[in-house]
Amino acid sequence: MSTRRFSGLGLVVVGAVGGVLVSLGITAAAQRGEPLPLKELQQFANVFAAIKSSYVEPVTDHKLINDAIKGMFSDLDPHSTYLDAEAFKEMEAITQGGFGGLGIEIGSEDGMPKVIAPIEDTPAARAGILAGDIITHIDGKRTKGMTLNDAIKLMRGEPKTRIELTIVRQGRDKPLVINIVRDLIKVRSVRSKMLDNHIAYVRIAQFQERTAADLVAQLNTLGAKAPPKALVLDLRNDPGGLLDSAIGVSSAFLKPDVLVVSTKGRVPSSNREYFAKPGDYMRSYIGSNGSADYLSKIAPWSKTVPMVVLVNVGSASASEIVAGALQDHKRAKIIGNRTFGKGSVQSVLPLTDDTGIKLTTARYYTPSGKSIQVTGVDPDIAVDDTAQGNLFRLPREVDLQRHLVNGETAEEAAAADTKEDKTEPKMFEFGGADDYQLLQAVNFLEGRPVKKMDPALVVKADKAEPAGAKGKPAANAKAGEAVVPKEVQPADKTAPAAEKKSPVTPIEPIIERYRLTPGGLIKTP
């Protein structure tokens, strides 16, 4: 969200209950063309008055109203929610790419936070936090059983404040206690580098307000001396973000004016088609006032060079829009695992200067008219996270309670993998030398065979390792020597089952901006 504050809102508070009820009721009635539900509103007022006057302990008006608003979302889909002052501020910080914290991507393992990766040049990275570290205590508080969001809230805080983490690290007999001073974390949503054989690698970690513009700058830098011969776009574990940003990123690689995504909802303004043109991706760009189209000077090779998009179970929302658009237009091959399956758009509707609601207002569809809600984007070539199998464990949209149904395809819950793993896939750095999926993407771009996983490594590890001796090399493999795998074609049905599931990173909504007025919803520019 932008730091620009919303003004001219249509909510006039007249008393703790009546003003809110009447204002919301008038707005709802204007949208539906139906009379106010006066009987139900009176019942709500009676309950409010009863609790206020007779509950065993005093309850403030503010708490009762806030809890009542939260209750209205309890049976809606999991991405619709009330944004209190704290949540509203956090959403602003995340979409702008800055917040006070440590600088780590975390997931969950055995009910405790697990470091997916430290972000470079942040307090966590400088303090020596490593991928794979398990956080057992935060300032002395046990994290076992703590929700991921609660752990994140504890680790975030004002810059220059101190925090103590107790971690368990593989290969260490005793826990480590690490003291870190929080700092302002400016998340770089786009990173890039040139791989061997002049193949460009670009990773997008999150879709923020400047992501598409930053992408253009880095693509131009990568091709400053000579155009790359191929490109890998990495969207793995990217939880999504802003709709405009997803349209801009897609437009960087597609021909002008082609369809990127369409949305359909109950409100007429939610029924739209978005194309690869400035009017759609520059709508709310923070530098759009009088500034030129940031795609106008993009290097021409970005629209023609052979391209692979890497995705996994953690690729959601805006990531899926980009992957779906590039796949439908046959601009890129999608490699990795089936994506999360969040095919809905959330509108942020401000209620006051520092509160609002995030409401699911539409489903989105790829250029071919396909909804990926629940189903996700299927890769053209399936490749596991690591040579030993899948690493990231995350429930997909289909596993979330009250998720929206697709309506176009039969729905099946994600199958639980009941097999006990004989090997523990090793944590790796996206874009690093041990990034197995990236290696397979390079193999594809250079015309070499692509392997789903390394069955020889897994089989030999199974035979060589006694129970509980995870992480040791296969007995018949020399130290430092890679076990050469037998090729597994992408369509091989004997390959291991789908990923296991436990939270990795919160899924970011696809966000559009509206104002809530007595006349209905008005899209903000």
Which two structure tokens, joined as six digits, stand for 44?
A: 């709500």
Decide if 248 contacts 261 (C-beta within 8 A).
no
For residues 188 and 194, the answer to whether their CB atoms sit within 8 Å is: no
d(CA 317, CA 508): 7
Torsion from C-alpha of 326, 393, 340, 208, nearest 10 degrees: -70
Question: Going by DSSP bridges, is the β-strand pair 356-365/104-109 parallel, antiparallel, or unpaired?
Answer: unpaired
Closest by CA position to 260, among listed 303, 324, 216, 214: 324
Q: How far does CA 198 lie from the centroid of its chain?
A: 29
Q: Which of 328, 384, 385, 454 is catalytic?
A: 328
- Among candidates 145, 147, 143, 121, which has minimal Cα distance to 133? 143
Please report where in the chains the tokens 């658009």 appear, as a residue.
Answer: 325
- For residue 342, indicate whether it is catalytic: yes
Report the C-alpha gap between 377 and 366 in whole angstroms. 10
Pairing verdict, β 333-336 and 381-382? parallel
DSSP 302: G
Residue 218 class from Cβ within 10 Å (0-12 exposed, 13-18 middle, 19+ buried)?
middle
Q: Are 224 and 210 in contact (CB under 8 A)?
A: no
- In the residue annotation, 315 being an active-site residue is answered as no
Is 317 catalytic? The answer is: yes
Report yes or no: 409 and 213 within 8 Å, Cβ to Cβ.
Answer: no
Separation of alpha carbons 10 and 516, rounded Å = 6
DSSP state, residue 236: T
* Contact indicator for 44, 21 with CB cutoff of 8 Å: yes
Q: Which two tokens stand for residue 103?
A: 């600088």
Q: Which residues pair with 109 in a beta bridge?
A: 112
CA 87, 362, 2, 5 torsion: positive or negative?
Answer: negative
Length of the chain: 525
305: helix, strand or coil: coil
Q: Which of 108, 192, 270, 317 is catalytic?
A: 317
Q: Which two tokens stand for residue 397?
A: 């949209």
**Which run of H or E residues covers position 245?**
helix 243-253
List, by residue number, the catalytic residues.
317, 328, 342
